[in-house]
Amino acid sequence: MAEKKEDNLMEKIVSLCKRRGFVFPSSEIYGGFAAVYDYGNYGTELSKNIKNEWWKAMVQLREDIVGLDSSIVMSPRIWEASGHVSGFSDPLAECKNCHARLRVDHLLEEAGVFADEKMSEEEINELFKANFDKIKCPSCGKHDFTEAHKFNLLVKSNLGNFASDWDKDPVYLRGETCQGIYVNYKNVLNSTRVKIPFGIAQIGKAFRNEITARQFIFRTREFEQMEMQYFVNPENEMTEYEKLRQTRWDYYIALGIKEENLKWHKHENLVFYAKEAYDIEYNFPFGFKELEGIHARGEHDLGSHSKCSGKKMDYTDPETNETYTPHVIESSVGVGRTMLAVLTDAYTEEEVEGETRVVLKFPPKLAPIKVAIFPLLKNKPDLVEKAKGIYDKLKQDYMCEFDDSGNIGKRYRRQDEIGTPYCMTVDFESLEDEAVTVRDRDTMAQERINIAELDKYLEAKLK
């Protein structure tokens, strides 16, 4: 099992993300806003590339999966039917000394005690009390806590409700994107040519009042999910589920994630409707944790929406005439969580001529900037003009950066830190031989390439 390279890797990633403009804490000038983050220039590009790769694998390359973009705020009846209003909660306790709010199942887990999601408040409190002496508050180190109570994670809003007592019948910001998929199942079926088995994929924001959120973009209160719900004949649910598990594992390998940093985790204690649940875990700087959930959800979702809405959610097979309510298997992963996995995988420190080189070795398809173009000197108009000409041409096809500030070494270091695979320098020789020096991020090897050949060169390297 791969161990993480350094103890303070997380701090290094957080600091690089801020310094280079990947991720900023939200509302910083007002003292911050916990567990919410903003993405800067390179973070936006990285997140866009991650979403594009997911969409390509899940929709573009699949004849059996179509896309959807449903609304964030929907009828609150949806969240009653799904079980979120009554049961989407985590056990919360407060430290009596420093008043930190803490997730009791996480405290127990750190003490080596497993707390099942399905446990009642009473059961979790029994377990909590039995292990009090093993548990310390992560903020102040004391162990004096209030009793645990279940805290609902749904975030309320008054959208469309103008009454002063709006919170008696609130609407909710969606807690997961897939509910928008279930309630549109019939619309999709009636408006496209899909036949069972088929999937609906969606990328979008979700919101959860997470109790503790101390792991940067791993767990945030506002986040983006990439979810695909696959509708199958109940008889084939487990065969299709195994296929989906394999597809999702292969996807991460093709994305460029190191296989030794991935592993399966099988859920032993399933929610009542689930047939099987596995997580793909990634070796984050704080250890192996859930990256993606892959669940066999049976008839639960379409069945309960059908019961609560009174609308039929069944399917008649056009060939066999068999009618049934499809079962659902899902793949669900966060964009921010993928981004943290990709950053962790890419972060590298190397000794170069007595100095530490920090380089993000992103797979080229995920790199925010593909090519940086430099004129050797800023004050030589001929060099600047030639470099600008190359930049103007290449930016039509790739995210490029033009940089003429500081010495070349410093420009390379900056591009290494944002993970740019190729840097090109226009020097005095370029004016004679119509070629540039191309430097490879990972090997630091340099080669001379004709300007007229750059398109072909990059196509071979990047596409």
Nearest to 167 by CA among 180, 155, 181: 155
Q: Contact, 327 vs 234, CB < 8 A?
A: yes
Instruction: Report, in Å, the least distance between residue 292 CB and ligand GAP.
Output: 5
Choice between 227 and 416, CB closer to ligand GAP: 227
Site for ligand GAP in 396-425 (CB under 6 A): none
Q: Which helix (H) or strand (E) holds 447?
A: strand 446-450
Choice between 150 and 395, CB closer to ligand GAP: 150
Choice between 301 and 403, CB closer to ligand GAP: 301
The amino acid present at 194, given as its one-letter code, is V
Window 212-231: contact mask with ligand GAP (x via CB under 6 A): -------xx--x-x-x----
Instruction: Report, in Å, the least distance between residue 148 CB and ligand GAP.
Output: 20
Choice between 332 and 420, CB closer to ligand GAP: 332
**Which tokens is 402 given?**
């033009």
The answer to whether residue 176 forms part of the interface with ligand GAP (CB under 6 A) is: yes
Q: Which helix (H) or strand (E) holds 371?
A: strand 371-375
Taking CB under 6 A as the criterion, the residue among 292, 345, 404, 417 binding ligand GAP is: 292
The answer to whether residue 117 forms part of the interface with ligand GAP (CB under 6 A) is: no
Nearest to 227 by CA among 274, 265, 269, 177: 177
Nearest to 405 by CA among 380, 375, 427, 381: 375
Instruction: Report, in Å, the least distance between residue 10 CB and ligand GAP.
Output: 16
Crossing angle of helices 381-394 and 454-462, in 10° steps, is 50
The answer to whether residue 49 forms part of the interface with ligand GAP (CB under 6 A) is: no
Which residue number places its CB atom closest to ligand GAP?
Answer: 334
Round to whole Å and give the CA distance between 204 and 179.
12
Site for ligand GAP in 123-142 (CB under 6 A): none
Choice between 277 and 376, CB closer to ligand GAP: 277
Round to whole Å and give the CA distance between 266 and 25.
33
Give the binding range for ligand GAP (CB under 6 A) out of 182-190, 281-289, 333-341, 414-422.
333-341
The answer to whether residue 199 forms part of the interface with ligand GAP (CB under 6 A) is: no
Prior bond to 234 cis, omega within 30? no
Instruction: Report, in Å, the least distance between residue 241 CB and ligand GAP.
Output: 14
Instruction: Report, in Å, the least distance between residue 229 CB and ligand GAP.
Output: 8
Instruction: Report, in Å, the least distance between residue 291 CB and ligand GAP.
Output: 6
Burial profile 113-130: b = 16 or more Cβ within 10 angstroms, e = fewer:
eebeeebeeeebbebbee
Phi/psi for 92 (5° steps) reads -115, 135
Round to whole Å and give the CA distance between 447 and 461.
14
Nearest to 129 by CA among 118, 113, 140, 116: 113
Choice between 124 and 341, CB closer to ligand GAP: 341
Count interface residues toward ligand GAP (CB under 6 A). Answer: 19
Instruction: Report, in Å, the least distance between residue 70 CB and ligand GAP.
Output: 13
Nearest to 334 by CA among 167, 102, 176, 150: 176
> Residue 42, by phi and psi: left (phi above 0), alpha (psi -120 to 50) or beta?
alpha
Taking CB under 6 A as the criterion, the residue among 208, 327, 370, 411 binding ligand GAP is: 208
The answer to whether residue 334 forms part of the interface with ligand GAP (CB under 6 A) is: yes
CB 53: neighbour CB atoms within 10 A? 19
**Which tokens is 161 given?**
């409700």
The answer to whether residue 337 forms part of the interface with ligand GAP (CB under 6 A) is: yes
Q: Tokens 């964009």 sit at which residue?
A: 335
The answer to whether residue 331 forms part of the interface with ligand GAP (CB under 6 A) is: no
Choice between 180 and 364, CB closer to ligand GAP: 180
Choice between 83 and 143, CB closer to ligand GAP: 83
Taking CB under 6 A as the criterion, the residue among 336, 364, 419, 421 binding ligand GAP is: 336
Q: Tokens 């190397």 sit at which residue?
A: 350
Choice between 242 and 290, CB closer to ligand GAP: 290
Residues near ligand GAP (CB under 6 A): 176, 178, 208, 210, 219-220, 223, 225, 227, 290-293, 330, 332-334, 336-337
